[in-house]
Amino acid sequence: MTGFNLNDLSQLTLAPAGTPPFQTTYGNFAPRIGGAYQLIPSRNFATVLRGGFGLFYDLASSEIANIVDDDAYPFGVFQSLPDTTFPIEPPPAPPQILVPTPSSGVIGGFDPHLKLPLTYQWNVSLEQGLGSHQSYSLSYVGALGTRLLQSAYVNAPTPNTYLFNAATLVANTGSSNYNALQVQFNRSLQSGLQALVSYTWSHSIDTASAGSSYNATNAAGPGVNQNANRGDSDFDIRNSFSAGLTYAIPSLNSPSLLKAVSGGWSIESIILARSAPPVTVTDNTFYQLRQYYAAIRPDITPGIPLYLYGKQYPGGKAINNTPGAVPGGCSNGNQSIGPFCGPPVDASGNPIRQGDLGRNTLRGFGATQLDLALHRDFALHDEIKLQFRAELFNVFNHPNFGPPDGGLYDQTFGLSTEMLGQFLNGGLQGSAGLQGSGGFSQLYQIGGPRSIQVALKLSF
């Protein structure tokens, strides 16, 4: 495309046939450097300082695939097939790729000067030995993401000439940074006990957590003032704890029958606990800001609680969804919900700006889970071994809730409507028949109900 300028789309038009989507960049130099120094030399209580720095480039292939999936000209096209059996005889002719018109079709384009996303990463760690089999480490990890890819979906992108109905445009408009403190204790197998315990405090901030415009909270917006969307990342988890323990149960010494029955057993456990991920509240009566597809956040009224607590709410907490809580109502005439009001609107009823509630300002629910496994090996012959395993997921059947509904005018606004395992599996719709689209079954990931599986494994 030519005339590509997200601040002024009036000159946007098709480039001549054969023009590459964007220019190939050369010289993407990606050095990495690391070092280690033993501060205190000791066989059992050594202290080691480590550090590293590197530059890492991402690819543009994900956004290329998204534009193809958009059926955007000239990268993709959509054809509806009749309701019939397969294979179709005779095979249908390939669909014709038509240039979009002012009334139909979507054009896809990249900034002709697009650069590959670049991330700077660094880390410093101090490891201390605690005898011959144990150690702990304290680490600082940081990353800075620059010129990250974002897509903007624009209706009538050429207002002066009105050449196209809509356009998906990709440019280097995103940025991010990440800082983390990581603490780890490691015990190698000794006296039947092995352990790995980790805790991370981290903070991830960005202007968008994904490049695609499908999730409107991550789409590039008018004027490409990304500071308006800068906030906690969609995946920002401040506190995360995990522990993996393995213990070989000692067998009884006598009599011989008890010794044979009790020998060879071991128990493993995994403990996971994390704080709540963020939630964005959006005024879902609006779907665009000026020409741009966007998630419109509401204004917030100080002095009104953000959350409600009580047993009547799933998980014991809800985003404040009390109707009419703002004194005097909202300036745009809509009813207030909790402390939230939609932003001001113009004479046509369209929002004139983004709301002052920040992106990903609120928080949902944390998660905690204990998994256990018990197994025993039976030596049947020299090279033949039978292993029995019993595995229990979410042993205490602890309920972990999915994030609350952030759609301001939804009937379920502010409430969690599904368990965490269902949410990670693609939501209630996914668990009802769309499994296989990328999500794990809720039985095999954090947040599912208690489940037990038993297995026998023969090795030879």
Q: How far apart are CA 172 and CA 146, in angstroms?
A: 8
Do residue 295 and residue 426 come from a single domain?
A: no
In a domain, 145, yes or no: yes
Q: What is the CA radius of gyration of the chain?
A: 28
pLDDT tens digit sequence for 44-73: 899 999 999 999 999 888 888 888 776 777
Do the strands 193-206 and 239-248 form a parallel or antiparallel pair, or are they unpaired?
antiparallel
> Is residue 408 in a domain?
yes
More confident residue, 426 or 407: 407
User: 298 and 343 share a domain?
Assistant: yes
Does residue 287 share a domain with residue 250? no
Tell me whether residue 183 is in a domain: no
Q: Which residues of 315-344 are buried (b: 16+ CB within 10 A; e: fewer)?
A: bebbbbbeeebbeeebebebebbbbbbbbe
446 and 337 within one domain: no
Same domain, 381 and 315: no
The per-residue pLDDT of the chain, averaged, comes to 87
Q: How would you class 80 by CB atoms within 10 Å of its CB: exposed for 0-12, middle for 13-18, buried for 19 or more?
A: exposed
Quick check: is 199 in a domain? Answer: no
The verdict on residue 180 lying in a domain is: no
Question: Does residue 186 fall inside a structural domain?
Answer: no
Tens digits of residue pLDDT in 185-226: 999 988 889 999 999 999 999 999 988 877 788 888 766 677
SS3 sequence, the chain? CECCCCCCCCCCECCCCCCCCCCCCCCCCCCEEEEEEEEECCCCCCEEEEEEEEEEECCCHHHHHHHHHCCCECCCCCCCCCCCCCCCCCCCCCCCCCCCECCECEEEEECCCCCCCEEEEEEEEEEEECCCCEEEEEEEEEEEEEEEEEEEEEECCCCCCCCCCEEEEEEEEEEEEEEEEEEEEEEEEECCEEEEEEEEEEEEEECCCCCCCCCHHHCCCHHHCHHHCCEECCCCCCEEEEEEEEEECCCCCCCHHHHHHHCCEEEEEEEEEECCCEECCECCCCCEECCEECCCCCEECCCCCCEEECCCCHHHEEECCCECCCCCCCCCCCCCECCEECCCECCCCCECCCCCCCCCCEECCCEEEEEEEEEEEEECCCCCEEEEEEEEECCCCCCCECCEECECCCCCECCECCEHHHHHCCHHHHHCCCCCCCCCCHHHCCCCCCEEEEEEEEEC
Q: What is the pLDDT of residues 339-358, one digit of tens each?
A: 999 999 988 888 999 999 99
Which of 326, 360, 394 is a domain's end point? 360
Which residues partner with 49 through β-bridges? 37, 126
Q: Which pLDDT band, with edges at 50, 70 and 90, does 105 fall under?
A: confident
Residue 371 covered by a domain = yes
State whether 156 and 61 are in the same domain: yes
Q: How far is CA 361 from CA 236, 240, 373, in A?
A: 11, 19, 38
**How many domains does the chain fold into?**
3
Residues 370 and 345 in one domain: no
The pLDDT confidence band at residue 254, using thresholds 50, 70 and 90, is: low
Same domain, 120 and 37: yes
Same-domain pairing of 98 and 33: yes
* Length of the chain counted residue by residue: 460
Q: Which of 101-115, 370-384, 436-450 comes out lowest in average pLDDT?
A: 436-450
Domain membership of residue 106 as a residue range:
1-175+206-226
Q: Is residue 115 part of a domain?
A: yes
| Span of 146-150, 242-246, 440-444 with lowest mean pLDDT | 440-444
| pLDDT at position 434 over 60 | no
Does residue 259 share a domain with residue 116? Answer: no
Q: Do 329 and 393 sit in the same domain of this protein?
A: no
Q: What is the pLDDT of residues 118-170, one digit of tens each?
A: 999 999 999 999 988 999 999 999 999 999 999 888 888 877 777 788 888 89
Q: Which two tokens stand for residue 31?
A: 């050095």
- The whole-model pTM stands at 0.86
155 and 24, same domain (yes or no): yes
Backbone angles phi, psi at 322, to 5 degrees: -75, 120
* Token duo for residue 64: 């290329």
